[in-house]
Chains A and B, each alone.
Chain A
Amino acid sequence: MAECHPVGFQWVMEAKARGATVIHVDPRFTRTSALADLHVPLRAGSDIAFLGGLINYVLQNDAYFKEYVVAYTNAATILGEDYVDAEENDGVFSGFDPEDRSYDFHSWQYEGMEVQAASGQRDQQYQDRVAADQKSGVNKAGRGEAHGSGGAAIRGEIKHDDTLRHPRCVFQVLKRHYARYTPEMVEEICGIPQDLFHQVAEALVKNSGRDRTSAFCYAVGWTQHTVGVQYIRAASILQSLLGNIGRPGGGILALRGHASIQGSTDIPTLYNLLPGYLPMPHAHEHEDLDAYIQADSTEKGYWANSRDYMVSLLKAWWGPAATPENEFCFEYLPRLTGSASTYDTVMAQLAGKTNGYFLIGENPAVGSANAKLQRMAMANLDWLVVRDFSLIESATWWKDGPEIETGEMVTDDIKTEVFFLPAAAHTEKDGSFTNTQRLLQFHHQAVEPAGDARSDLWFTFHLGRRIREKLAGSRDPRDRPILDLTWDYPTKGSQDEPEAEAIIAEISGWNAKGEPLSSYQELAADGSTACGCWIYCGVYADGTNQAARRKPAGEQSWVAPEWGWAWPANRRLLYNRASADPEGKPWSERKAYVWWDPDDGKWTGHDVPDFKVDKAPDYQPPKGAKGPEALTGVDPFIMQADGKAWLFVPSGLSDGPLPTHYEPQESPFTNPLYRQQRNPARELHKHENNRLQPSGDEPGAEIFPYPLTTYRLTEHHTAGGMTRWVPYLAELQPELFCEVSPELAAERGLEHGAWATIVTARNVIEARVMVTERMAPLQVAGRTVHQVGLPYHWGPNGYARGDSPNDLTSVALDPNVHIQEVKALACDIRPGRRPRGPDRIALVHEYQQRAGITDTTGTEV
């Protein structure tokens, strides 16, 4: 966190100054480790074993927060008889189809019920509920992030055992699943010595419960794996068992990859989402608004109101053209026929199936997995538009990229027409960031952009305006979705920059009288409200830009509700009902956050209660209750159908209801826990430039004996577009370097300050050598293992130049969210600079041959 969020890290230092214990778990010793109380090095790719070890520790030692677990999690829920755990089946759960490489989740259901996922693969049930028998293509359509979380109980009552003893209750299933994740196993898999593991476990347990809470912070070190989502799930189980969710000083904080990536999923730039995590409709037959709502809404919980959210969104986009008669222009929305995720798009480009590409503040030639594949894919386009501050590698690969040097691409033969449009920086435009705390912070233009540089807002608005002008008067129904859009945003200044405030006002929404809305609870399904994103409803309440507020800390409460605006409803801590016990009293005075005031008949406290404000703790729903009314007074997790934190996930995830240790796609180790080596449901893409390496004891694995991990430095930002062209930053970290231990340097003849060549089945790069004790060798599975570290920011352009570590990585993805596994792979490293020209490719082929790599290597389930 000190490396990647130095300004945010000041709060960790503040907590430390007040007595908090800071534990840093990371394969390398970073600037965070230097300030932490404890650094726990582990083998990259082994965190589920570590977290599973902590879960097992907590369960075996009865160290869980019992009252919290019984009342607020689904620990007591009884599962159906058909469920078979990975523990009983060599590492694979029941319902796996090896042909399709996917799971049918029906055997994971609660006994007697069908549960709709509120997040994850919601549409898995569409087939069951609306259409006739069809093989579900939904996995491929990637409904991963839709809808947040939770599910709908369609019929029946949940069966549960509050004594947690029933053999099929979630608690017992959990215990059996993690029984072999002992401290000894953690040491064997992760390389963490047992006494160090115990230090962490005891500290965590000691600092959880009524009086103390502990928080986990993670970033892409956890998500960029073929089991990335399961990493987060493991932390979620652990924190739920310890009673740390929904409580001050607790929780799991996702530290994001850039300043507004939260915003980029809220108002999405993802192909499968509409604003507010409504799913993009799928091209099922006869799909209309009713069918869409029926498939995706739930009967209990707040997703039951998705019709209100959806209709209001359609009204924001199509205004008066959207009427009840035409289902509010629902048919204008584009439809999914499969996945259009970034890596699927790249594969389609390679196959010649896509013509054009917009890259807006994105540099895949450096920043995406298998950077060479990215460049080769772009060479298949008809046209490419790049918007950035400088001529990034994704704009110049066609004339000076690595493949021109090797001869794999010839500039004159590349037919792609490349447009470069300079972009304005955040200081040159109005706009907002949404950070990991769901906090919107508006920023104001300090100076107009120079020359031809323009903001993304300007570009999008004026592009749309010009297209509409060209289409004006058309009678083709295909043009109506564009012509019927409300596109009358005001502009300002000499450059006709659209007013960002007008847009945020539309996102927040208004009623039929044009009055700004205050809360998503005001949204209606009859067309009387418009709202560009239901979770952001209220950011412009009272006609005031709430996101622009900056009241200093000293002038308000410690929750600081008047700094910016957090969605939803300016609530700062989600699920905060869980900060009070089942009677509505805080678990302790020290950790009081929100509580029930019986005299007032309301929830009150330091934050906006994340609960129906007048729902008493002892509330029981009447029979047949639907939506939020179906949740009881002790259901803090209001986005879930059953109102509970899900220790076990009956539906919504592609790769299992419980996190399970699988080795990364490429690993020098075999999985000691199960015969199943890797995530059976992981997503692979076959291509001759995306060859995979053998692992474990497969022949040829010894050719790539060193685990490799990629990461970031404070001085640079992502793929370098914002930093490698800035002299003051470039000089701080001017060249690509690799980090190796003195022992590895001795073993491979690497010299500090000299060059190293690093090879995988995809490509070979060179880097300066940094020999450091901060990369400590680990003892894993009875032998010493050395890890190689590579910061990934570099490319051949700009002031700070170097090879790109993503040339080494492969496209192997988490199946839920299609995120690349660049945090744990395997490589060889040797002294000296890499070959130039065609010899570079020859070296890669030589390695492939030595390792016996074919087009099927590594692709087995």
Chain B
Amino acid sequence: MGVLRESEYDDAPPRMGFFTDTSVCIGCKACEVACKEWNHVPEDGLSFSGMSYDNTRGLGADTWRHVAFIENRSETAPVDLGMPAVGLPGSGDVRPDLPPGGDLLDAEGKLQWLMASDVCKHCTHAACLDVCPTGSLFRTEFGSVVVQEDICNGCGYCIPACPYGVIDQRKDDGRAWKCTLCYDRLEVGMEPACAKACPTDSIQFGPLEELRERAQQRVDQLHEQGVDVARLYGHDPEDGVGGDGAFFLLLDEPEAYGLPPDPVVTTRDLPAMWRRAGLAALGLAAGVVAAAWGRKG
């Protein structure tokens, strides 16, 4: 729970977050709509993207939940028609109650349609929080990262800082906006709007520690069912952002979903950079002194 050591809350509740299990996402986008309705986020674009069923395109100032649709082929081995092709994407095993048989496979693997609801990661080491000069961005008692819109001055430093490309500025008013983990709802004991709306419980909300345990159980279950491609993303406290407050179960490489494979908090190297700069400055100063001293003699 390192993140809460950085802030100053007495009697803080356990850190809360999201576990998004994309293996049960049905792509209904209730999360996108519920988020916009609750937070009065404006509509942000009426144009056909051609990106499968994803006309939202990505997270931004006016999109805080974004459902990605990825049509690709799973990584099963090339097919002979005796090989069953049932089960979740990537699964090479037959479900016990389905007899073996063929499917519409070709040599490139089974057609799959991955659907995933993306959101702000509420990182343990949040670069947006680090770089904000006004204190507008802050860490709540729940461990989430929130922008105080009445303080934000629109400097925009947080935008390039985010390794996931989440936070963004509204063109018309200049301020930075992103998911608040429905801070107002959490304060009265409710779950975020997207988690409430999700019909299949793909979006799960709760104490982060509990979610991480649940997620591991789910991955193990999927592996037992032969869905070897299932993996967690953003769950690991050792990763480049110290683990996410909103993490995921994916059925393919992160890149397939448009997610960075190895996100690093952009301020990670700052201490080392300052040390080196300091050493360089000291070295320079020592050199100047040595030169001046040498002159005297």
Q: What residues make up the interface of A, taking CB atoms closer than 8 Å to B? A: 2, 6-7, 9-10, 13, 19, 21, 29, 31-35, 37-39, 41, 193, 195-196, 198-199, 202-203, 206-207, 713-715, 727-735, 737, 752-753, 768, 770, 772-774, 776, 799-800
Nearest chain B CB to A242 CB, angstrom units: 15
* A202 and B48 contacting across the interface, CB-CB below 8 Å: no
Stretch at the interface among B100-108, B176-184, B272-280: B100-108
Distance A37 CA – B101 CA, assembled complex (angstroms):
13
Query: Are A198 and B45 touching (Cβ within 8 A)?
Result: no
In the complex, what residue of chain B is closest to A715 when comparing beta carbons? B29
14 A-B pairs within 8 Å (CB atoms) are namely: A2-B28, A6-B28, A6-B199, A13-B200, A21-B97, A34-B26, A34-B27, A37-B86, A37-B95, A39-B104, A199-B98, A206-B97, A730-B43, A768-B48
Q: In the docked arrangement, what's the CA distance between A178 and B50, Å?
A: 44
Q: How far is the CB of B69 from chain A (nearest CB, A)?
A: 9
Q: Is B33 an interface residue (CB 8 A)?
A: yes
Option from B45, B55, B98, B111 in Cβ contact (under 8 Å) with A37:
B98
Q: CB-CB < 8 A to A34: which residues of B?
A: 26-27, 112-115
Within 8 A of A (CB), among B21-47: 24, 26-30, 32-33, 36-37, 42-47
Q: Is the CB of B50 within 8 A of A768?
A: yes
Return the chain A residue nearest B197 by Cβ. Answer: A7
B102 touches A732 (CB 8 A): no
Check A734–B48 contact: CB distance below 8 A: yes
Q: Is B95 a contact of A21 with CB atoms below 8 Å?
A: yes
Closest to B202 in A: A13
> Are A728 and B200 CB-contacts (below 8 A) given A199-B98, A203-B97, A715-B29?
no
Given known contacts A37-B98, A728-B37, A732-B55, A800 and B46 CB-to-CB distance under 8 angstroms: yes
Q: For B86, what are the chain A residues with a Cβ–Cβ distance below 8 Å?
A: 37-38, 199
What distance in Å separates the Cβ of A716 from its nearest Cβ neighbour in chain B? 11
Given contacts A29-B111, A38-B86, A770-B50, contact A199 B101 (CB under 8 A): yes
Q: Is B157 an interface residue (CB 8 A)?
A: no
B103 closest partner in A (C-beta)? A196
Contact partner of B46 (CB less than 8 A), chosen from A33, A713, A799, is A799
| Cβ contact of A41, chosen from B45, B50, B81, B104, cutoff 8 A | B104
- CB B250 to nearest CB in A, in angstroms, measures 15
Cβ B45 vs Cβ A772 within 8 A: no
A641 to B99, CA, bound (A): 40
Q: Are A31 and B56 in contact (CB under 8 A)?
A: no
Q: A37-B95, A38-B103, A728-B33 are in contact. List 17 more A-B contacts (CB 8 A).
A: A13-B200, A21-B95, A32-B26, A33-B113, A35-B24, A37-B98, A196-B102, A196-B104, A198-B101, A206-B99, A207-B97, A731-B43, A732-B29, A733-B53, A734-B46, A734-B48, A774-B71
Residue in A closest to B89 when the chains form the complex, CB atoms: A34
A31 near B101 (CB under 8 angstroms)? no
State whether B52 touches A6 (Cβ < 8 A).
no
Is B87 an interface residue when CB atoms closer than 8 A count as contact?
Answer: yes
A6 to B113, CA, bound (A): 16
B residues less than 8 Å from A206 (CB atoms): 97, 99
| Chain B positions 64-99 with a Cβ under 8 Å from a chain A Cβ | 71, 81, 86-87, 95, 97-99
Docked-complex contact A714 and B28, CB < 8 angstroms: yes
Question: Using Cβ atoms and an 8 Å threshold, which residues of chain A touch B201?
Answer: 10
Interface centre among B29, B37, B45, B48 (most CB of A within 10 A): B48
Smallest Cβ-Cβ distance to A10: which chain B residue: B199
- In angstroms, Cα B49 to Cα A753, docked, is 7
In the complex, A732 Cα to B31 Cα: how many Å? 12
Residues A734 and B37 in contact, CB atoms below 8 Å apart:
no
Given the interface pairs A772-B71, A774-B113, the reply to whether A753 lies near B97 with Cβ below 8 Å is no
Query: Cα distance A41–B36 when bound, in Å?
Result: 36
Q: How far is the CA of A33 from the CA of B200 in the complex (A)?
A: 16
**Contact A729–B26 (Cβ < 8 Å):** no
Give Cα A735 to B53, complex, Å. Answer: 11
> Of A10, A41, A753, which is within 8 A of B200 by CB?
A10
Which residue of chain B has its CB nearest to the CB of A193?
B102
Knowing A35-B26, A38-B98 are in contact, say whether A731-B46 is a contact too (CB < 8 A). yes
A773 CB contact (under 8 Å) in B48, B56, B111, B199: B111
A199-B99 in contact given A35-B24, A37-B87, A772-B71 (Cβ < 8 Å) = yes
Complex CA–CA separation, A203 to B56 (angstroms): 39
Chain A hits for B103, CB < 8 A: 38-39, 196, 199
Give B26's nearest chain A residue, CB to CB: A2
* Closest CB in chain A relative to B51 CB, distance in Å: 9
Contacts of A198 in B (CB 8 A): 99, 101
Q: How far is the CA of A823 from the CA of B35 in the complex (A)?
A: 35
A193: B residues at CB distance < 8 A? 102, 104
- Partner pick for A13 among B26, B44, B48, B52, CB 8 A cutoff: B26
How far is B99's CA from A196's CA once the two chains are assembled, in angstroms? Answer: 10
- Closest Cβ neighbor of A767 among chain B residues: B48
Bound-complex Cα distance A806 to B199 (A): 31
Closest 6 CB pairs of A and B: A727-B43, A753-B50, A6-B28, A199-B101, A34-B113, A195-B102
A752 lies within 8 A of B50 (CB): yes
Q: Are B47 and A734 in contact (CB under 8 A)?
A: yes
Q: Which residue of A lies closest to B43 (CB)?
A: A727
Residues on the A chain within 8 Å of B55, using CB: 731-734
Q: Are B24's CB and A13's CB within 8 A?
A: yes
Task: Point out which of A6, A752, A768 has the most chain B C-beta atoms below 10 A from its C-beta.
Answer: A6
| B36 contact set on A, CB distance < 8 A | 728
Residues of B within 8 A of A10 (CB): 199-201
Closest A residue to B32 by beta carbon equals: A732
| Nearest CB of chain B from residue A738's CB, rounded to whole Å | 11
Partner of A774, one of B32, B87, B111: B111
Query: Contact between A730 and B200 (Cβ–Cβ < 8 Å)?
Result: no
Instruction: Give chain B residues whose Cβ lies under 8 Å from the Cβ of A203.
Output: 97-99
Question: Once the chains are docked, how many angstroms separate the CA of A130 from the CA of B56?
Answer: 64
Question: What is the CB-to-nearest-CB distance from A675 to chain B, in angstroms, rounded to a whole number?
Answer: 32
Chain A hits for B43, CB < 8 A: 727-728, 730-731, 799
List of B residues within 8 angstroms of A2 by Cβ: 26-28
Residue of A with least CB distance to B198 = A10
Q: How far, in angstroms, from A40 to B86 measured CA to CA in the complex? A: 11
